[in-house]
Chain A
Amino acid sequence: MLKGVHQNLDPQQSPAFFVRGANPFSRMMFFCALSIIIMAVDARLNYLSQIRQAFIGGLHPLEMIANAPSDWMRDTKKYFSAHNALVQENYVLKQQAFEHKVALQRLSTIQAENEHLRSLLNGNIPIQPKAILGEISHTGRDPFTNVVIVNRGSQHKVQAGQAVVDSKGVIGQVTRVYPFSSEVTLITDKALSIPIQVERNQLRAIAFGEGNNTLDIPYLPSNVDIKIGDKLVTSGIDGIYPAGLAVATVTKIQQNPESPFAKIVSTPVAEISNHLQLLLLELPEAKEAEIKPDAEPAEKTKVEAKPTKPTKTKTKPHAPG
């Protein structure tokens, strides 16, 4: 009789004193497995970038609240900055603008001449990239990577892979684009490399970031013609960075007798920590598609007849996002 009653009882009913659902160990195992799967998916496949973009886009209001105190502080500082200093700055800037204008006059004639000569040689005219002006909103939150976050995103037509420069030189490349902001990986990051050219003797090489605010130029023989103080500029063969932008200056050359290669260390010329404004240069592909229609009316020379495209090498320094 009693046995029968017992059999009718629900075996799932356990005393409700310490019920916490599944025990912590099985939960831990489950969530660990889940995180490992997510890590693998995020590292190898690109499915999760959409989710991340949506999340960061949704986080934007919260970010604005978090940024508000520092913005207010900057604004009040601006407001109270002395009249005298502003007049002084205005004067200096006017003078600079005047000097630049004079230089620009010369440059435009030289450029026209250069274009003409190039067309005579059946070369292609170097494209003047368009740019978006952005502002650094904060440095990256992950102390392991060299990134800055810029306040321009896919809403402002920023694309992943765009080159980023400031008034002194190349800063890096856009690696992730969110709706209202984008992540710029600095050229000093380990994931990034940039094709360069020594300004003095046009020697081409590729510079790799080292992670600690320096660039390394590996695989050059120890007797290579590079001196301390040499300026490195972009060579433009990658089709991402326009040619001739300042990248770095060589600061140290070490010859190791055991290695056939010289260890060449250079420091970037861009001053990321000193100011906030920077330019995001448009990708050359997008520019090409755009320039075709409005190039026709301004047909000075017969360049259009020759559809030579800029040679693109496979050494794309684009870091996968």
Chain B
Amino acid sequence: MRPANLLTIYLSLLAALLCQLFPWVGQGVIFRPDFMLVLMLYWLLRAPNLCNVGTAWLIGLLVDLATGSLLGQHALSFTLTAFIGLSYQRRLVLFNKWQLAGYVFVLLIIERVLILLLKLFAGNDNPGWHYLWPIITSMLLWQFMVVIFGSITRPKTK
């Protein structure tokens, strides 16, 4: 695994923002994965010296600005998710591929629920069960990220 550098992180961030801005027609927006969140989690778990809680906050703020939601909502939920994600970061090298996927899955659920709570507090409607679809698609995106940028877990010993 090559060490992560800051340029890769920012370029991939730009690509994710582009995906987020892509005009998702009608029903597509229900299945849209959280590009920025998955990207943030990947770099957070892989290179916590380059991507930390502060970066997560900034990415969340970008998402808020781009989606037009109340400023600070995604920033708050990304910060909290990043903190929870970091708390077990040192132990991740001991995880295998599926354990790591499970860990990310839990983090995705936490972020989704946090956003739901914040939105409900702000006076939005309960969107219904289809609100949880992006967790599944984000999980697929995570696996895709692992294929592209390389695995985080310890390589198999022979």
Closest chain B residue to A69, Cβ basis = B22
- Smallest CB–CB gap between A281 and chain B, Å? 22
Q: Complex: how many Å from CA A65 to CA B123?
A: 34
> In the complex where A140-B68, A143-B29, A144-B125 touch, is A32 in contact with B79 (Cβ < 8 A)?
yes
Q: Give the number of A-B contacts (CB < 8 Å).
A: 127
Asked if B71 contacts A31 (CB within 8 A), the reply is no
Asked if B23 contacts A137 (CB within 8 A), the reply is yes
Asked if A24 contacts B119 (CB within 8 A), the reply is no
Asked if A66 contacts B21 (CB within 8 A), the reply is yes
Closest chain A residue to B90, Cβ basis = A18
Asked if B75 contacts A141 (CB within 8 A), the reply is no
- Smallest CB–CB gap between B110 and chain A, Å? 13
- Smallest CB–CB gap between A74 and chain B, Å? 11
Cβ–Cβ < 8 Å partners of A31 in chain B? 53-54, 56-57, 75, 79
Say yes or no: is A315 at the interface (Cβ < 8 Å to chain B).
Answer: no
Give the interface SS of chain A, mostly helix, strand, loop or mixed.
helix
Say yes or no: is A103 at the interface (Cβ < 8 Å to chain B).
Answer: no
Asked if A144 contacts B124 (CB within 8 A), the reply is yes
- Smallest CB–CB gap between B33 and chain A, Å? 13
Q: Interface size of B by Cβ–Cβ distance < 8 Å?
A: 47
Cβ–Cβ < 8 Å partners of A21 in chain B? 52
Say yes or no: is A67 at the interface (Cβ < 8 Å to chain B).
Answer: yes
> In the complex where A143-B131, A144-B125, A145-B124 touch, is A36 in contact with B72 (Cβ < 8 A)?
yes
> In the complex where A35-B57, A38-B75, A139-B26 touch, is A62 in contact with B70 (Cβ < 8 A)?
no
Asked if B87 contacts A24 (CB within 8 A), the reply is yes
Please pick, from A28, A32, A140, A143, the residue contacting B127 in the complex, using a CB distance under 8 A.
A143
- Smallest CB–CB gap between B39 and chain A, Å? 16
Interface residues on A, range: 35 or more
Interface 9-residue window, one of B59-67, B93-101, B135-143: B59-67
Say yes or no: is B103 at the interface (Cβ < 8 Å to chain A).
Answer: no
Cβ–Cβ < 8 Å partners of A219 in chain B? none
Please pick, from B18, B69, B131, the residue contacting A62 in the complex, using a CB distance under 8 A.
B18
Say yes or no: is A70 at the interface (Cβ < 8 Å to chain B).
Answer: yes
Q: Mark A43-84, 1 if CB is under 8 A from B, else 0.
A: 100001000100110010011011101100000000000000
- Smallest CB–CB gap between A315 and chain B, Å? 20
Give the interface SS of chain B, mostly helix, strand, loop or mixed.
helix
Please pick, from A43, A67, A140, A273, the residue contacting B70 in the complex, using a CB distance under 8 A.
A43
- Smallest CB–CB gap between A189 and chain B, Å? 9
Q: Which of B34-92 contact A (CB under 8 A)?
A: 48-49, 52-54, 56-57, 60-61, 65-73, 75-76, 79-80, 82-83, 86-87
Cβ–Cβ < 8 Å partners of A41 in chain B? 71
> In the complex where A27-B53, A31-B57 touch, is A39 in contact with B127 (Cβ < 8 A)?
no
Q: Complex: how many Å from CA A28 to CA B76?
A: 9
Say yes or no: is A183 at the interface (Cβ < 8 Å to chain B).
Answer: yes
Q: Complex: how many Å from CA A137 to CA B118?
A: 28
Please pick, from B17, B26, B52, B57, the residue contacting A34 in the complex, using a CB distance under 8 A.
B57
Closest chain A residue to B53, Cβ basis = A27
Q: Mark A135-171, 1 if CB is under 8 A from B, else 0.
A: 0011111111101000000000000000000000000
Q: A42-B70, A190-B124 are in contact. List 13 more A-B contacts (CB 8 A).
A: A28-B83, A32-B79, A35-B72, A56-B65, A59-B21, A62-B18, A67-B22, A138-B25, A139-B24, A141-B21, A143-B29, A143-B131, A145-B68
Q: List 18 A-B contacts (CB under 8 A).
A: A28-B82, A32-B76, A32-B80, A34-B72, A34-B75, A35-B73, A35-B76, A39-B73, A42-B72, A62-B17, A65-B18, A66-B23, A139-B26, A140-B68, A141-B66, A142-B68, A143-B29, A144-B124
6 closest Cβ contacts across the A-B interface? A39-B72, A138-B23, A38-B72, A35-B76, A28-B83, A42-B71
Chain B residues in the interface with A (C-beta under 8 A):
14, 17-26, 29-30, 48-49, 52-54, 56-57, 60-61, 65-73, 75-76, 79-80, 82-83, 86-87, 118-119, 122-125, 127, 131
Chain A residues in the interface with B (C-beta under 8 A):
20-21, 24-25, 27-28, 31-32, 34-39, 41-43, 48, 52, 55-56, 59, 62-63, 65-67, 69-70, 137-145, 147, 176, 183, 190, 211-212, 273
